[in-house]
Amino acid sequence: MSSREDSVGPSEPKERRKFGRVPDSLMLALHPVLHQYNVTPLQLCLCCAMAETQQRSLLQQLSMVSGLEIIPSAMPRADIISELTRPTINRLVAQVSAQPGSVWVPDSGSLWEGLTYEQRLELMRHHLQQVKLKMTPVAQRYRCYPAGLSLQVTMDNWEDEAALDEICEITGWDVRPALVLPEEFPTACRFDQAPSWEQLLSDEDYRHLKPLLRAHKIQPFEMSILLAMADPSDWRTRQEVSEVTGLSVQPFQAEEEEIAAALREKVGGAEEDLWRQTAILPTFFKLDRLLPALVQHEVLPQKLVLRIGMSNVKDHLALHQIRLLTGYEVEPVEMTGQAIVSILERMLRHIR
């Protein structure tokens, strides 16, 4: 089994960034998870789409107002306007469907140009509210628990349990042969392209397993997340977890009390406090104060991102559990185990 603490990576930055400071409440709530996976929160960021991403003064202004680090991404102005006006256009289309000829439906660009500043402000407020709603953790809404990862593989001899057991022991995943013949791989139907071993494994684990994988011609086929659910037939929960993680979902039956106990263990016996804190974080960072600047410069807020330091940035289970328990998109930054421990100790000492 690889050692997370001894993983080699960049050391701790000398100075913390000015914007996106992680609140003490989130640090305390996530404390058990942080130590279990040897990770540390570094920074909270807001991803924003804009037509021109090199506007440094605008990025600085948005950070000053919100308290968040702003991550810009390029998007054509027409697409930004289309996203903002979508609710209004959908409403007009519904009205036309109900009463043909009652109203003319303009294109998004014409509609935007004809709106007053107050109307544009209201559309931007509606979009920002959708960003906030995405913050509600899936685990809170549906009372489910991400228990682990399952990897299906293709191999020459699918009855070679010893090889599968060794992969399972190194990775901690549930590893089993895919229900597909090797000669059918990789033309078998699946939603996404199969990941490579280099993408799935840490460098140390890959070096350890490489001879075995080559000798038995074992290739990854599909990664799934094992989800404890009181009602495994709840397709909505499975669909949302799949969208959040990018993985297929393998549900299994669990009692609600067992799920609640697992969640309490992950968040130090205070999962309700954690969820209350994450629910108010957008207010904490004063996102609504961004509205005038967002409308003026036609900037589209997209999602909130939690940057975390990790000794193993390929620890997919840690990433998915933090994502599902907090409601944040997670961006890993590789760091040494020693640097992570140092940051955690200093931050927790400051909180006390």
Higher pLDDT, 38 or 300: 300
Same domain, 247 and 167: yes
User: Facing residues of 43 across strands?
Assistant: 307
* Residue 227 within any structural domain of the chain: yes
Task: Give yes or no for residue 319 having a pLDDT over 50.
Answer: yes
Task: Give yes or no for residue 327 having a pLDDT over 60.
Answer: yes
Same domain, 31 and 74: yes
In angstroms, the CA 147 to CA 139 distance is 12
Same domain, 275 and 129: yes
* Residue 65 within any structural domain of the chain: yes
- Its pTM stands at 0.70
Which of 248, 266, 284 is where one domain is finished?
266
- Residues 123-175: tens digit of each pLDDT: 999 898 888 777 667 776 677 888 889 998 888 887 788 889 999 998 889 99
Same domain, 243 and 287: no
Q: Is 30 exposed, middle or buried (0-12, 13-18, 19+ CB in 10 A)?
A: buried
Which residue segment(s) compose the domain that 171 sits in? 141-266
Same domain, 322 and 342: yes
Same domain, 207 and 251: yes
* Residue 91 within any structural domain of the chain: no
Residue 18 has a pLDDT of 64
Which of 204, 238, 266 is where one domain is finished?
266
Which range of 44-58, 126-140, 242-256, 332-346 scores highest in mean pLDDT? It is 44-58
Residue 15 has a pLDDT of 41
Q: Which two tokens stand for residue 189?
A: 């139907």
Q: Which two tokens stand for residue 128?
A: 């920002």
Percent of the chain at pLDDT > 70 equals 78
- pLDDT band, very low/low/confident/very high, at 184 (cuts 50, 70, 90): low
* Residue 61 within any structural domain of the chain: yes
Report the domain count for the chain. 2
Give the up-direction half-sphere exposure of residue 87: CA atoms within 13 A in the CB hemisphere.
12
Same domain, 172 and 225: yes
Task: Give yes or no for residue 9 having a pLDDT over 60.
Answer: no
Which of 235, 266, 297 is where one domain is finished?
266
Same domain, 145 and 262: yes
Residue 101 has a pLDDT of 62
* Residue 209 within any structural domain of the chain: yes
Same domain, 157 and 246: yes
Residue 25 has a pLDDT of 67
Higher pLDDT, 28 or 240: 240
Mean per-residue pLDDT over the chain, rounded: 79
Mean per-residue pLDDT for 334-347? 82
In angstroms, the CA 253 to CA 251 distance is 7
Residue 318 has a pLDDT of 86
Higher pLDDT, 257 or 102: 257
